[in-house]
Structure 1
Amino acid sequence: MAAFIQCVYFISAVMPYIVGQLIVNARNKGGETIVEKIVANTSADTVTLEFLGSDGSFVTQFIDFKSEVQIFRIYILGEEELGQTQPQVICFITRFMRSDFITADAMSKLRQKNPTAIRTPEEEREMNIYTLDLTINLDKAYMISPYVFNICSEAKDGIYGQESDLRAISKSLDKDFITLISAAAELIPNKYGKCRDTQDLSKPCTCQVHTCIGWYPCGLKYCRGTDSTGKEVNYRCGIKTCKRCLAFVYVASPKMKCLWDF
């Protein structure tokens, strides 16, 4: 479990210039309280959201605003009765939509009056389903975002992406898509059945991982008022909060790495 425990200290290890942090208590549908840690780094233009799920999984959502990339890293506890004494680490690299999260600068300015309060999101957004058809080469992943290597180093053989996302990311980075994909990614053949229907634990199969971000600042609120001259103006007067669940569909090789998908 050393690797799992170590991941809790990820932020302080690779993000020394922290300028804003929130601790949020979000209650899930089962009535359990999930504690989220959200950190903004304005100098790097990044936001990190982390939490320990009720199933024991440790989830990191890392947003790189400059590259328009977000990285989801998930530590999944192993099945000890099958000899899996260490957690499995998986990384999913997706395109980041700027309309889905407030900026790192806005995040850094949020102030927390009551860190023990139970937070309820104002809006539950539609589930995002990612079908990951690429494996990402860790050693070349810096071409997508300079943060992938540090975040996903423990998931060397389990880093996944979408071709459609990589096309959009390469455009935002002003990079040639063919060069990027040939260097940093490999297409996964779409020929495998679902893991729940695959009996042989040594065979590849299509796996699913689900997680929910129970509370996050998804937008800014603006109010109307007047300035010192009496002119009517709009001003920022708060944040909008959302919840979103995500499903990641990818090829696990072998099924032994997808024992939860029954």
Structure 2
Amino acid sequence: MAPKCVCYTALSAVIFSICVGQLVVNVKNQGEVLKETIMSNVSDDSVTLLYPQTDGTLITQLIDFKQDVQIFKIIVLGEEELGQNQYQVICFVTRFARGDFISSDAMSKLRQKNPGTVRTPEEDRGTEDIELDVSLDVQGSKMLSSHIPVLCSEAAQSTYAREHEIKIWMNQRRDGGDLTSITSSMSHLPTRGVVRCLDSGRELATPCSCHLQVCIPWYPCGLKYCKGRDNSGKAVSYRCGIKTCRKCRNFDYFVQQHQLCLWED
């Protein structure tokens, strides 16, 4: 049987049908039009958003609602003339703030009626600064989220997190999982007295602090509710659309060589 679809109209004039499937959205981002793909997996309670930037960089954001974990995977194309690999993969693992993205169940029910329309977010949530002070063992981090070893398999030497958030995850776990193995498999990174790559000159072998901004130009950040009355005349509140947002994050982390952060030049 085909899924039943119910249309909702948001204030931003985006019309969605409640159906199972992925959402492909044309998004305007600083004068450019990008194509975002957002996929929901209700069975494991996760949402994945990905889009390619015009310079070839591929951004993936995965939210694991079960563990309050979100993972940002960035694939950056290398510069062949400088002897770099074809690309490098970087992962940032951070704590997810509930309420910053609609649930996987609600996401699975969204589908555009006019897929050719270029969307713009209703709210800009600004920029969050995130300093990452530990590197993670990718396979050992599966206790934090089973998605980390899968998504970050190519970032074995470049998966980063914040120690204080790892301690929060450890204290919140109630399923009996032993997260102490995480602390033994993570490595602390220098955070003080390290020159920023932008200021380290052209010495490509010099260790430095790398700065990478990751922006999600459009995502469903909340549900909208309207007020009405049911058949008996009783006042009710019902879901009538979504709210869309934009948010950027400035990630700062230590790299062993400046050549791993050439976008700072």
Shared topology, TM-score over 0.5? yes
* SS in structure 2 at match of 1:260: helix
Corresponding position: 1:58 with 2:61: no
Residue among 206, 211, 214 paired with 1:208: 211
Mapped to 2, the partners of 1:114 and 1:38 lie a distance apart of: 16
Query: Which of 198, 201, 221 is 2:200 aligned to?
Result: 198
1:171 Cα deviation after fit: 2.6
Does the CA-based 8 Å contact 1:132-1:248 persist in structure 2? Answer: yes
TM superposition shift of 1:85: 4.0
**Change in CA separation of 1:180 and 1:255 when aligned onto 2, cut-off 3 Å:** same
The aligned counterpart of 1:220 is: 223
Amino acid at match of 1:198: S
By how many angstroms is 1:198 displaced? 1.4
- Mapping of residues 61-140 of structure 1, within 5 Å: 61-140=61-140
Deviations 1:194-251 (A, max 9, x none): 0112132212110011121110000000010011211001111110000011111000
Correspondence 1:106-255 to 2 at 5 A: 106-174=106-174, 179-190=180-191, 191-199=193-201, 200-255=203-258
Which shifted more, 68-77 or 188-197? 188-197
Partner SS for 1:192: coil
Contact 2:57 2:76 in 1 (8 A): yes
User: 1:111 Cα shift?
Assistant: 2.2
Partner residue in 2 for 1:20: 21
Describe the SS at the equivalent of 2:152: helix
Report sequence identity in percent: 48
Q: State how far apart, in whole Å, the 2-side matches of 1:229 and 1:184 are.
A: 60
Partner secondary structure for residue 137 of structure 1 = coil
Contact 1:219 1:239 in 2 (8 A): yes
- What's the CA shift for 1:178? 7.8
My pick for the range that moved more, 128-137 or 79-88, is: 79-88
Determine if contact 2:206/2:256 at 8 Å carries over to the other structure.
yes
For the residues of structure 1 that align with 2:171 and 2:119, how far apart are their CA atoms? 37
Q: What secondary structure does 2:73 align onto?
A: strand
Stretch of structure 1 that moved more, 176-185 or 151-160: 176-185
Asked if 2 retains the 8 angstrom alpha-carbon contact of 1:124 and 1:242, the reply is yes
SS of 1:142's partner is helix
Q: Does 111-120 or 33-42 show the bigger shift?
A: 111-120
Q: Tell me the distance in 2 between the aligned counterparts of 1:195 and 1:235.
A: 51
Partner residue, 1:13: none
AA matched with 1:41: N
Alignment partners' CA distance in 2, 1:218 and 1:172: 24
Q: When the two structures are aligned, how many residues end up with a matched partner? A: 244
TM-score w.r.t. the length of structure 1 is 0.89
Pick closer, same or farther for the CA change 1:234–1:77 going to 2, 3 Å: same
The whole-number CA distance in structure 1 between the counterparts of 2:98 and 2:134 is 23
Q: CA deviation at 1:133?
A: 0.3
Letter in 1 for 2:169: I
Normalising by the residue count of structure 2, what TM-score does the alignment of the two structures yield?
0.88
1:259 corresponds to which of 249, 254, 262: 262
Please list the CA deviations of residues 85-128 of structure 1 after superposition, one character each: whole Å capped at 9, or x if unmatched. Answer: 41110000000011100000000111210111100100000212
Given that 1:75 and 1:87 are in contact with CA atoms closer than 8 Å, whether structure 2 keeps it comes out as yes
CA positional deviation for 1:66: 0.3
Q: What are the ranges of 5 or more consecutive residues in structure 2 without an aligned counterpart?
A: 1-19
Q: Return the letter of the residue paired with 1:231.
A: K
Q: CA 1:176 to 1:41, structure 2 compared with 1: closer, same or farther past 3 Å?
A: closer
